[in-house]
Every structure is written in C-alpha cells, then in structure tokens.
Amino acid sequence: MPVTLFIPTALRGFTERNAELSLEAATVGELISALTQKYPDLRTHLLDEKGELRPFVNVFVGEINIQSRGGFAFPLKDGDVVTLIPAIAGGARG
C-alpha cells in the first residue's frame, strides 16, 4: 500500500534532493528497505551493520516514534505519513 515518506533536508543529498516519496510498504521495515534499494547511499546513514536503525535517526509514523512501538515491525496502512528525523546540530559554536 502506498505511504508518503518525508526526507529531511540533511538526507536529501542522497535522494536527488527529493523531499517527499511515495513508496509501497506494509511495515516500516519494508519501507526502509524500499528506500535504501532506491537510494543505496542512504543505507549507511540509516542502518548499522546489523541492519538496525542508527541511534541518531528516528522514524515517526504520524506523530508516533516507532522505536517504542515494535520498531521495524510497525504496520503501515494506506495513506500513512512517515517522517525520518535525524539529529541535527546547527546553531552557534558555543
């Protein structure tokens, strides 16, 4: 089923500057595989060697963080909006 995936600015360098993608997936895990198949350079940014989500990236389905809700097994339904939210650190040098 098609879901909408929002790519943050910090990762758009790997998606040909695309900010919004429509992908077919039944779970968040499937969605991330579809994404990294389409854009292989994204893989090391999102996943560690074991294929788990890196600690500086969060995946939200709607307003829910999947980390505490089953992780990659989190089911998706038609029309869900998924957002990748990586740590960013802009501001002043402090």
Residues of the shown chain interacting with other proteins in the complex, contacts defined by CB under 8 A: 6, 8-10, 13-14, 19, 40-41, 44-45, 54-56, 58, 60, 62-65, 67-68, 83, 85-94
Minimum CB separation of residue 78 from other proteins in Å reads 20
Closer residue to other proteins (CB): 25 or 61? 61
Minimum CB separation of residue 75 from other proteins in Å reads 18
Tokens of 84: 């990748």
Minimum CB separation of residue 12 from other proteins in Å reads 8
Long-range contacts of 49-52 (CB under 8 A, 24+ apart): none
Q: How far is CA 78 from the centre of its chain?
A: 17
**Dist. CA 25–CA 56, nearest whole Å:** 23
**Dist. CA 46–CA 32, nearest whole Å:** 9
Closer residue to other proteins (CB): 34 or 60? 60
Minimum CB separation of residue 25 from other proteins in Å reads 19
3-state secondary structure 77-89: CCCCEEEEEECCC
